Amino acid sequence: MGTGIGCEHKNLMNIELKQGQELANQLKEQLCSPKRSKETCEILVATILSSFEKSLSILKSSALKLQDDSMLNSLHSSPGDASPRSEMPDEPRKNVFKKRKAMTQWSEQVQVPFGPGIEGPVGDEYSWRKYGQKNILGATFPRAYYRCTYRNSQGCLATKQVQRSDESLSLQVIYKGRHTCKKGSESSAGSASCGNQEKRHKIQKQNVENTINFGTCDKTEELGRCIQVERMPSFSFPSTNHFCPEDTREYSFIDSRYLPSLVNQETSECSYPSLSPYHNMNNFEIGQNLGSSVSSLAEILSTPNSVTNSPVCNFDLLIDPVDFDPNFPLDILEFFS
DNA sequence: CGTATTTGACCCTG
DNA sequence: CAGGGTCAAATACG
């Protein structure tokens, strides 16, 4: 199973690093150019940082994959039985927690667009309902808990956690469990609450507002950080199913970031730009538009919402939703060879 | 009025 | 016992 992983990560690393290198060269040219623009430089810097950040994430996830490969195998061979206790159907809550433990088995790291006006991961066509929020130790921002809107009507057990990163203005989304609900246009069967598009749009809209409030600037102290920023074009990996055969997958969507906005906001409240042209695109479409080559600077600058990052790629990363460890073992650098 | 969100309490895990 | 995940009553919203 793991033989192709290294290759995929290696390719990803190469792409990211080459992109970073090329962008750095472009930045250098900009700096030497008499008609350089500060905005261009800022965008380049942000994009370069993005490449490095993704590279580091790939590195880490690769290492974790290697570390936990044996554990994964054991999980695959003996599904269930995650919680030896609470087998008795005493109380409903016990079953809930049994599921909780069983679900934290898989993760996938994906770049997601996040920012003003974006409802968490773009292309997340599912409807989510917030069921909790917790302050996490050591985290500036609370973590929000969502479950599938159709949990009751269709028994879909998919959940996700959304948390903003303290430093990089990034958004981390962890998906747990796989959707078993019928979504989108095919949702007519058996769903009591998702019959028409209009209603689902309402739900999505509310999810948008909720995510924004949670993630950015519902508190005044955050206003200064969230205004005058603009969503960084990003990409995401399609959440294909072929590498996660179980229902207990956990996806970790890590990192998207903002760029300094080119638009000044006069007001003290978050005034978000309109949804991007690819608001209606799913992740895969975004990725497909990328191609495998590095985006040119001209394209980046001419299309603020264009995707500037890596080509789409499926990789079954096993990564915990934790910050990158600076002491991460670098023997994995053999990937670069 | 139905549905979604908020939020404090509860429960499980390490 | 602390921290994290979930529940469920209260509240908000359309």
The model carries a pTM of 0.44
Q: How far is the CA of A143 from the C1' of C5 (A)?
A: 11
Residue nearest to nucleotide B6 (CA to C1'): A132
Which A residues between 164 and 223 have a beta carbon under 7 A from any strand C atom?
A: 176, 202
Q: For chain A, what is the mean pLDDT?
A: 52
- Residue A128 DSSP code: E
**Helix A38-77 crosses helix A3-32 at what angle (to 10 degrees)?**
170
Tell me how far apart the alpha carbons of residues A118 and A278 are, in angstroms, rounded to a whole number. Answer: 11
- Residue A309 DSSP code: S
% of chain A beyond a pLDDT of 70: 24
Cβ atoms of residues A330 and A25 within 8 Å: no
* Residue A101: per-residue pLDDT: 44
* Residue A130: per-residue pLDDT: 94
Q: What is the DSSP string of A214-259?
A: IIIISSHHHHHHHTTEEEPP-------STT--SS--EEEE----EE
**Per-residue pLDDT tens digits for A260-318:** 333 333 333 333 333 333 333 333 333 333 333 333 333 333 333 333 333 333 333 33
Strand C nucleotides within 7 Å of a protein CB: 2-8, 14
User: Whose C1' is closest to the CA of A218: which nucleotide?
Assistant: B6
Tell me how far apart the alpha carbons of residues A331 and A321 are, in angstroms, rounded to a whole number. Answer: 22
CB A92 within 7 Å, strand C: yes
User: Whose C1' is closest to the CA of A210: which nucleotide?
Assistant: B5
